[in-house]
Amino acid sequence: MGNSNDADLDFIAQAMPAFISEAAEQIEAIETLLLELEEQPENRELLDSLFRCAHTVKGSAGIFGLNRVVEFTHHVETLLDKMRDGDIALNPQISTLLLQCNDQIKFLVDTAADESADTAEQKDTRADLVVRLRSLTEGEVVVPAETAVVAGKSDSGDGGLKVWTISARFGPDTFRNGMDPLSIARYLATIGSVKSIRCGTDSVPPLMNLNPESCYLSFFMELETATNREEIEGAFSFVIDDCELDVVAPETPDQKMARAIEEIPETPRLGDMLVQVGAVSQDKLAQVLSTQQHTPGMPSVAKAKIGDLLESQAGVAPEVVAAALGKQQKIRESSPSEERYIRVQADRLDAVINLLGELVIAGAGATLLARETRQGGLVEANLHMNSLIEEIRNGTLGLRMVPVGETFSRFRRVVRDTASSLGKEVNFEIVGGDAELDKSMVEKIADPLMHLVRNSLDHGLEPPQERTAAGKPPAGRLVLSARHETGAILIRIEDDGRGINRERVLQRAWNRGLIEQGVVPSDDTINMMIFEPGFSTAEQVTNLSGRGVGMDVVRRNIEALRGTIRLNSNPGKGLQVDIRLPLTLAIIDGFLVGVGKSKFVLPLESVVEVIESGGQSLRVDSTGRHCVELRGQVLPVVRLRTLYSVESNLPNRVSVVVVNSPKGKYGIEVEVLLGQNQTVIKPLGRLFKTLRGISGSSILGSGEVALILDVNTLAELVTDSEPSQAVS
Amino acid sequence: MSEPFALPAELNIYSALETRDALLAWVAEQTTKSKDSLEISAKNVAEVDGAGLQLLAALTNMDQSWRLVDVSDAFSDACQTMGVTQWLDKRALKSVAGV
């Protein structure tokens, strides 16, 4: 006995992290749903999903004995239930209350293991929320139940009190899973009035053969309630996997038959289906089928019309045929495409991806050796293997991709709360939330984005009066968008606020000694000043004191992801912050080039074309910059040999790789072209962090190290108007 | 007539195994002594769940006649919720339920 209790505790301790992460998902979903519901208060589906989420949290918290969560969530659930019944309509106050409650649930779940975190202050907050919830729910109780029912009836036609018959046969593991038919019966009694209940005990073995921890019970209940099937079935949601449940609504015989068809597990043939539920006899079916086959000249397509024949010849109600056809369709559709998820630990996936990186390198090595042997068969086998590796690589990296929209929608709440606390009106739009990004990247980008969004709200957007005075609509506009761009994702935060006040930024930069007094750099440079460490402390132009992250940290975080950040400020009109991030941190398709003995890799997506150019004959400046003519246009070119002081004998003819960058096209002058190469990115050591234009390194199949060029930062080097300082 | 079998205060899954063994031993002992109907007391039952009720259903399925002599409110309540009122004394049913 004591042992089994310990085992239970063990089990609970093990399952707890899974519970917490699942509950966190539910809580996040609740928040999203609430915000969506605010916009579409009539949307019944949203409300239903909202209730389900809350119910799931409560139910699973119950399994783990988290009574605080259960108690509190119960009150929330009661309110949601009232809302589903149409007794209470959602208004902004209720919505805010529910959001606060959700925060409280989150707090309770997060601190589930730690009673001491539940301070008196939190208890007060919670008690206060409960009082407010109860005043809402109980205030409405005085409304006679009949009115609610009548309203329900006139609305949807199925909301009235009805007697449902519920028969449930519980699976043997019900008790072991911590479930109890008795408590389900008790719960059902709370959502309606039990007209009759009978417990089925016939299959319980005699006491000497009984395994008391297995469940053999079943019950048959008649429940009078105004709720719907979903809710009744919801009572069984935790046992549904091994429980035979049959919930029958009071209905017309035809409806009953239609539903019986729904419940036939797998019966793809229309006729059989109808026979099974007794809509048509077997004989009659055979007769109809033979008519169908013997109709002369009937094209094969028309044979599908057996439903019509059954309707006209066998007198089957159209409703029944429709249900059977619907079921057929559903079977066809649902079986292959059913969405299923497997929860995988992130570090296991990372381990696979790491191994895959090694596999890519090993594959490249093998290819190299195979080429050296000059055996056609071996080379071909290798090529085949490499193409498979590439497919696996793409597939595996795809596993890590998640839509950024999930992160974006989290901001709705922040925007809503921040704007209301600042007394501003904001229309928040999310565009392109389905663009996909590496999961780890999504996690790391969330904080910097949050900071930028808050920054826009706090400093960008003006209060309504000021906006009206400036001839803008009183409600500000904040757009968060994401889209794919050559090998990268572009996340843009755009507002129509006041933009950056360049004079003030410049003044501060002078005061802080970030630039020499009196020197006026380009607008771009001034804008980027706000990302300097000196600007991130309190009471500055971009004051967001107390948030913990400064703008310099934002930039650092983004650059740590090999991303770039760019500001496009239009004083008085708005600010646009562009964040470009590589799609993944692990592997890219590279274009391998050589300068002297050194090898460099360019991201293949950015390569446009390769042209030839004179080598020695062209003069370059100290950082290796010069220009060539490309189809009548001037193309800035950087000579890697000079830029990174690579030792080599400059050949007469060199190649210029033309690449695309956000700053436009430019050329990179190299000496040898070595072709396409799958590149596993390895970070550069700390020593090389300051090296501009290089984003990482990679190990080639031959064991050589190649440096990966960062096309975007290199573009800055190339197009900088002032000659830059030495880079290496 | 000997003492009725007293069901434990916690008539639930946690004690189901123990209660089954105790009940089984008691039944075996009683049947050697007399042919009378067995008497079971649910006076002390404070907590009961489906697994607890199932034990009594299993006893019924032994073809052993038995009856309840005393029931707690919690027990009577559970029997009615679960629809196993046939075990309850009709009088007890009225007094508790009032439905």
pLDDT in tens, A659-702: 988 778 899 988 889 888 777 777 777 777 677 788 788 877 77
What's the pLDDT at A536? 47
Instruction: Check pLDDT > 70 for residue A514.
Output: yes
Residues of B within 8 A of A221 (CB-CB) are 83
Whether residue A180 and residue B51 make contact (CB cut-off 8 A), yes or no, is yes
Q: Between A92-110 and A120-139, two packed helices, what is the crossing angle to 10 degrees?
A: 140
In a domain? residue A635:
yes
Instruction: Check pLDDT > 50 for residue A66.
Output: yes
**CA-based nearest residue to A25, from A299, A402, A291, A426:** A402
Q: Between A12 and A555, where is the model more confident?
A: A555
Which residue, of A217, A250, A283, is where some domain finishes? A250
Whether residue A219 and residue B14 make contact (CB cut-off 8 A), yes or no, is no
Whether residue A207 and residue B82 make contact (CB cut-off 8 A), yes or no, is no
Same domain, A566 and A424: yes
In a domain? residue A728:
no
CATH number for the domain spanning A476: value is 3.30.565.10
What is the Cα–Cα distance from A55 to A49, expressed in whole angstroms? 10
Extract the runs of DSSP E, i.e. beta strands, from A226-269. 243-248
CATH number for the domain spanning A99: value is 1.20.120.160
Residues of B within 8 A of A180 (CB-CB) are 13, 49-51
Same domain, A608 and A539: no
Instruction: Name the minimum distance, in Å, from the CA of B49 to any CA of chain A.
Output: 6
Whether residue A210 and residue B20 make contact (CB cut-off 8 A), yes or no, is yes
Model confidence pLDDT, tens digit, residues B42-93 = 888 888 888 888 888 888 888 778 888 888 888 888 888 888 888 876 654 4
In a domain? residue A708:
yes
What is the Cα–Cα distance from B53 to A238, expressed in whole angstroms? 21
Instruction: Name the minimum distance, in Å, from the CA of A60 to any CA of chain B.
Output: 19
In a domain? residue A268:
yes
**CA-based nearest residue to A496, from A517, A479, A519, A521:** A479
Can you give the length of chain A in residues? 728
Share of chain A above pLDDT 90, in %: 2
What's the pLDDT at A252? 54
CATH number for the domain spanning A208: value is 3.30.70.260
In a domain? residue A727:
no
Please report which confidence band the pLDDT of residue A657 belongs to, taking 50, 70 and 90 as the band edges.
very high
Whether residue A210 and residue B51 make contact (CB cut-off 8 A), yes or no, is no
Q: Torsion over CA of B31, B34, B38 and B43, rounded to 10 degrees?
A: -110
Model confidence pLDDT, tens digit, residues A214-257 = 888 888 888 888 887 888 888 888 787 778 888 877 655 566 66
Whether residue A5 and residue B14 make contact (CB cut-off 8 A), yes or no, is yes
**CA-based nearest residue to A536, from A516, A521, A553:** A553
Phi, psi of A227 (to 5 degrees): -80, 175
3-class secondary-structure state, position A396: helix
Whether residue B82 and residue A210 make contact (CB cut-off 8 A), yes or no, is no
For chain B, say whether A190 makes contact (Cβ under 8 Å): no
Mean pLDDT on A23-38? 84
In a domain? residue A689:
yes
Same domain, A314 and A431: no
Nearest Cβ partner for B84 among A170, A201, A202: A201
For chain B, say whether A175 makes contact (Cβ under 8 Å): yes
What is the Cα–Cα distance from A685 to A696, expressed in whole angstroms? 9
Extract the runs of DSSP E, i.e. beta strands, from A405-506. 426-431, 436-438, 476-485, 488-495
Q: Between A442 and A117, where is the model more confident?
A: A442
Please report which confidence band the pLDDT of residue A394 belongs to, taking 50, 70 and 90 as the band edges.
confident
Instruction: Check pLDDT > 60 for residue A717.
Output: yes
Which domain range does residue A705 map to? 587-719
For chain B, say whether A29 makes contact (Cβ under 8 Å): no
Residues of B with CB under 8 A from a CB of A: 13-20, 23-24, 27, 48-51, 53-55, 57-63, 78, 81-84
What's the pLDDT at A487? 63
Neighbours of A353 (CB within 10 A): 20
Same domain, A278 and A139: no
What is the Cα–Cα distance from A552 to A283, expressed in whole angstroms? 81
What is the Cα–Cα distance from A53 to A88, expressed in whole angstroms? 19
Residue reference for tokens 């000249």: A297
3-class secondary-structure state, position A187: helix
Phi/psi class of residue A306: alpha, beta or left (left: φ > 0; alpha: ψ in -120 to 50)?
Answer: alpha
Mean pLDDT on A505-527? 78
Residue reference for tokens 């024949």: A309
What's the pLDDT at A148? 35
Which residue out of B47, B55, B81, B93 would a mutagenesis test of the A interface target, given it has the greatest number of A Cβ atoms within 10 Å? Answer: B81
Instruction: Name the minimum distance, in Å, from the CA of B94 to any CA of chain A.
Output: 16
Residues of A within 8 A of B48 (CB-CB) are 182
DSSP, res B37: P
How far apart are the two ends of chain B, measured CA to CA in Å? 34
Mean pLDDT on A269-282? 67
Which residue, of A582, A616, A645, is where some domain finishes? A582
Q: Between A289 and A245, where is the model more confident?
A: A245
DSSP-derived secondary structure for A193-221: EEEEEEEE-TTSPPGGG--TTS---EEEE
Number of domains in chain A: 6
Same domain, A317 and A350: no
Instruction: Check pLDDT > 50 for residue A266.
Output: yes
* All structural domains of chain B: 5-97 (3.30.750.24)
Model confidence pLDDT, tens digit, residues A336-380 = 444 567 777 878 887 887 788 788 888 888 888 888 888 889 989
Same domain, A320 and A209: no
Please state, rounded to an integer, the average pLDDT across all residues of chain A.
77
Write out A679-709 in H/E/C secondary structure: EECECCCHHHCCCCCEEEEEECCCCCEEEEE
What's the pLDDT at A593? 92
Residues of B within 8 A of A206 (CB-CB) are 58, 61-63
pTM of this prediction exceeds 0.90: no
Extract the tokens encoding A689. 């962090």
Whether residue B50 and residue A217 make contact (CB cut-off 8 A), yes or no, is yes
Q: Between A476 and A288, where is the model more confident?
A: A476
DSSP, res A629: E
Write the CB contacts of A494 (distance below 8 Å, at least 6 apart in sequence). A477, A478, A479, A480, A481, A574, A575, A576, A577
Same domain, A427 and A483: yes
Phi/psi class of residue A278: alpha, beta or left (left: φ > 0; alpha: ψ in -120 to 50)?
Answer: left
Same domain, A186 and A318: no
Same domain, A678 and A622: yes
Nearest Cβ partner for A182 among B19, B27, B50: B50
In a domain? residue A220:
yes
What's the pLDDT at A448? 85
3-class secondary-structure state, position A638: strand
What's the pLDDT at A600? 92
What's the pLDDT at A176? 83
Phi, psi of A35 (to 5 degrees): -65, -35
Whether residue B61 and residue A204 make contact (CB cut-off 8 A), yes or no, is yes
Residues of A within 8 A of B49 (CB-CB) are 175, 180, 182-183
Indicate the residue type of A596: G
In a domain? residue A339:
no
Whether residue A215 and residue B50 make contact (CB cut-off 8 A), yes or no, is yes
Instruction: Name the minimum distance, in Å, from the CA of B1 to any CA of chain A.
Output: 22
Nearest Cβ partner for A216 among B23, B54, B63: B54
As separate numbers, helices (DSSP H) first and strands (DSSP E) second, chain A gives 23, 21
Same domain, A640 and A705: yes
What's the pLDDT at A539? 43
For chain B, say whether A220 makes contact (Cβ under 8 Å): yes
Instruction: Name the minimum distance, in Å, from the CA of B78 to any CA of chain A.
Output: 7
Please report which confidence band the pLDDT of residue B1 belongs to, taking 50, 70 and 90 as the band edges.
low
Same domain, A407 and A383: no
Instruction: Check pLDDT > 60 for residue A303.
Output: no
Task: Kindly state the helix (H) or strand (E) to which residue A575 belongs, with its residue range.
Answer: strand A574-582
**CA-based nearest residue to A452, from A583, A582, A579, A580:** A579
Same domain, A546 and A406: yes
What's the pLDDT at A658? 92
Question: Nearest-CA residue of chain B relative to A188?
Answer: B81
Which residue out of B47, B54, B63, B75 would a mutagenesis test of the A interface target, given it has the greatest number of A Cβ atoms within 10 Å? Answer: B54
Indicate the residue type of A116: S
Residues of B within 8 A of A213 (CB-CB) are 13, 16-17, 51
Q: Between A123 and A701, where is the model more confident?
A: A123
Please report which confidence band the pLDDT of residue A727 belongs to, taking 50, 70 and 90 as the band edges.
very low
Which residue, of A566, A582, A598, is where some domain finishes? A582
What's the pLDDT at A616? 63
For chain B, say whether A198 makes contact (Cβ under 8 Å): yes
What is the Cα–Cα distance from A133 to A138, expressed in whole angstroms? 8
